[in-house]
Structure 1
Amino acid sequence: MSNRVKMNTFYCWDGDVLILNILGSPNAKTNKIGKPKGNQLKVNVAAVPRGGKATDHMVKFFAKEFGVKIADIEVVFGRMNVNKQVRIKAPQSLPSVIARHEQ
């Protein structure tokens, strides 16, 4: 099991693993990766925040956005909270908000 990583920004790399700090916003109209807010990335998901369903929905959304399998995404902490950290193993594509920071 991975340990929580303290970060000064909303993302960092651990080898080929992308670590993201997330500020989740459940019950949104659409799934959307927003802008950084402090050291978190705002993510809207169209799912109710009950029993971790919004987090599960976010993981499925991320799998498509980052071009990975659901099994390649680990929720380090925050499954039942709006504040989360996820690890994405070897993402094949990066959303523009991250790609811009990589240049």
Structure 2
Amino acid sequence: MRGRFAEGNPCMSKKASQTTHTIQLPPDCASNKAILQVNDEIREALAQKPERIELDGSRVLRLGSVAIGTLAVLAREARASGTELVFYRFTDAARRPFEICRVEQHFCWED
């Protein structure tokens, strides 16, 4: 199974009332060690039952297909427990977010 970025999917608007947990992905986010670290961090965050878990989208898009597959599985688990797993992207060097996108809507799968 290979993952690929699916363009043109709808993004969500951020609600101020939500409890949010933000996870910073490591610079070497495609390495096996980093993938395991992110997986553990997401699972720990899910245990706290936030309404949203955010990931840095500029690094999410550099993940390999195995990591993206893991992320998609975690997104489904999060959704089942009432947590939204999202990634955000930036417009400029000031790192102002311009969109927050649901992970499971942005990755599609091929056999």
In which range does the TM-score fall when normalised by the shorter chain? 0.3 to 0.5
Structure with the greater alpha carbon radius of gyration = 2
Larger RCO (alpha carbons 8 Å, 6+ apart): 2
TM-score when normalising by structure 1: 0.33
Structure ranking higher in helix proportion? 2
By percentage of residues, which structure has more strand? 1
